[in-house]
Structure 1
Amino acid sequence: MTVGQRTRVVRASESLAAGRPVIMIGGCAPETAEVVIAGEHADPDCVAWAIRYTSGFLCAPMKARRADRLNLPALKGDGPPGSGAPAYAVGVDAAHGIGTGISAVDRAHTIRVLAAPGTRPDDLTRPGHVVPVRAADRGVLQCRGTAEAAVDLCAIAGLASVAITATLTSDAGNLLQGTELAAFADEHHVEMVTVDDLADYVVHHGTGGGGRVCRLTEQSVRISVNGPFLIDFLDDVTGAIHSALTGPLEPGRTPTVHVTTACARWGSGLGTGLRSGHDDIARDVGPVTDHGGIVLTLRDTAEHFATEKSELARGAILAVLSRLGVERARVVGWPDGPDCTTIQVMDRSSGTPFSLEAPA
């Protein structure tokens, strides 16, 4: 992930948190640019602005599991899962507090109802003037669509994972693109970000404020006298649990990290450096105790992701090492790279993890 990509995502999330719109580029239709507004910040002014400068077709992306809770099934005729085609549900209006439902005031109210945590299916009427979109539950890494990217961006901003999206158009009715799009963003002081920016950010940082992985055990588990510790980490991106067997980590010394996998499905697509089928950590206790370093065991899930497995694995490695406070590491089994390479884990200036490509 580049510094520029991270900066664009951070600035865009800050704009959403402040109630300002952003522009999202890419997804299943790379030639389009979408206005994105956080659902919980929907007010008549921002909705009227979105209607004025877009097609006026307002969508409300949310995770599929939330759509299920609100009884918003997908309409028939959508593309296959993971294709990036939006999974539209039937349009809705708020059941109370609106007029005809079409005005900016009414649509803003409906969107806030969709974003409110306590909303129930009977708080909505069908059909209506706001069109929900069912986004993949695992977000932009599972499906590279604008809906997923918008929902993930809301989560990164610390907001409810419901957004407003609409396609930008020119006064002549054409899609807003190229220099016209850049001029529009400058004129209206709107941050721009791409779906690929979001995907790269989530691979390394996840969508929560605590980073991609969180430590499951409050204290390390000692597995032998004077031996190393076994620490489990929950992966916010994939839902898997990764384990780190850690020996002594001497300050100022670059530790060796041996990457293994607990699932052959991971190892088959990650390169020759990884060992597959590794569920028994006993064989690693002695070497780690004697020589220090870390044995990191990655685990897969049964879920499908649009992102390459090697990319997911690299992000998981960096996230776990960052949690362990490792700034620089010698990695044996770097996915899709040489069997042994040295990587920079921490950005010393910001204290946040970033990826340096392993040398060929």
Structure 2
Amino acid sequence: MFSSVKKIIQDAKKGKIFILVDDKNRENEGDLVIPAAKIDHKKINFMATHGRGLICLAIDKKKAKALNLSLMPSRNSSRLQTAFTISIEARKGVTTGISAKDRAHTIKTAIKKNVKAKDISTPGHIFPLVAKDGGVLERAGHTEASVDIAKLAGCGPSGVICEIMNTDGSMAKGRHLLNYANKFNLNIAR
């Protein structure tokens, strides 16, 4: 069964991963979500191992500007207009960048209050997504929902998201997402 938004915000405050499912008429897919301020290497490893999708850092336009991140591509022709920027890596404190520890460090570096573009390098192993200023009221996507929930939880305007794939490589939907949520004891909301 689906959880209330209030319960999801409580999970966000506690640093517990939760699942957000978008509209049936959109992707109708579920993402693992956590405020970026609550990320650590164990949560990155869970997302990589059990989510299996691309691990992305959802940020607001202000952060994208501070990091000097341009959209990739400059003319977005994707069906859902997902605002990917060029991928990033922390400039210091990482090895190859792909380990769970390195990816968590990159995220923590990118969301620092006074971060500068010189603190990151490109390309890298974290994929930033820029949320619309109006949040889910402007675009009903996982990017905006993760940023909105992180803000409501008092965790700042950034979230980490990862699509949930089935073991056969297909996207988890419907009852598969509910079973997944039960298996890992995660709250799920639409």
Alignment TM-score, normalising by the size of structure 2: 0.92
Shift of 1:119: 1.2
Q: Which runs of 5 or more residues in structure 1 are unaligned?
A: 195-360
**1:58 is aligned to 2:22:** no
Structure 1 SS opposite 2:52 = coil
Name which of 67, 71, 76 aligns with 2:68.
Answer: 71
- Residue in 2 that maps onto 1:45: 42
Task: Give the 4+ runs in structure 1 shifted more than 6 A.
Answer: none
Shift of 1:112: 1.1
The one-letter code of the counterpart of 2:76 is D
Name which of 88, 111, 117 aligns with 2:113.
Answer: 117
- Residue in 2 that maps onto 1:32: 29
Structure 1 SS opposite 2:4 = helix
- Residue in 2 that maps onto 1:354: none
Q: Evaluate the alpha carbon distance shift between residue 60 and residue 118 of structure 1 in structure 2; reply closer, same or farther with a 3 A threshold.
A: same
Q: What is the alpha-carbon distance in structure 2 between the residues aligned to residue 14 and residue 112 of structure 1?
A: 21
Q: What is the alpha-carbon distance in structure 2 between the residues aligned to residue 159 and residue 186 of structure 1?
A: 26
Q: Once superposed, what is the RMSD of the aligned Cα atoms?
A: 1.9
Identity %: 25
Alignment TM-score, normalising by the size of structure 1: 0.50
Q: Is the 8 A contact 1:99 1:106 kept in 2?
A: yes
**Structure 1 residues 151-193: Cα deviation after superposition (integer angstroms, max 9, x where no partner):** 0010011101111111101111111122221111012111111
- Map 1:215-294 → 2, pairs under 5 A: none
Structure 2 SS opposite 1:116 = coil
Number of corresponding residues: 188
Q: Is the 8 A contact 1:79 1:86 kept in 2?
A: no
Structure 1 SS opposite 2:71 = coil
Structure 2 SS opposite 1:57 = strand
Q: Is the 8 A contact 2:53 2:165 kept in 1?
A: no
**1:147 is aligned to 2:153:** no
Q: Is the 8 A contact 1:65 1:137 kept in 2?
A: no
Shift of 1:84: 4.3
Q: What is the alpha-carbon distance in structure 1 between the residues aligned to residue 138 and residue 104 of structure 2?
A: 29
**Structure number with higher helix proportion:** 2
Shift of 1:24: 0.8
Q: What is the alpha-carbon distance in structure 2 between the residues aligned to residue 112 and residue 11 of structure 1?
A: 25
The one-letter code of the counterpart of 1:45 is K
- Residue in 1 that maps onto 2:90: 94
Shift of 1:29: 3.8
**1:17 is aligned to 2:13:** yes
- Residue in 2 that maps onto 1:296: none
Q: Which runs of 5 or more residues in structure 2 are unaligned?
A: none
Shift of 1:137: 1.4
Q: What is the alpha-carbon distance in structure 1 between the residues aligned to residue 137 and residue 59 of structure 2?
A: 15
Q: What is the alpha-carbon distance in structure 2 between the residues aligned to residue 78 and residue 61 of structure 1?
A: 17
**Larger Rg over CA atoms:** 1
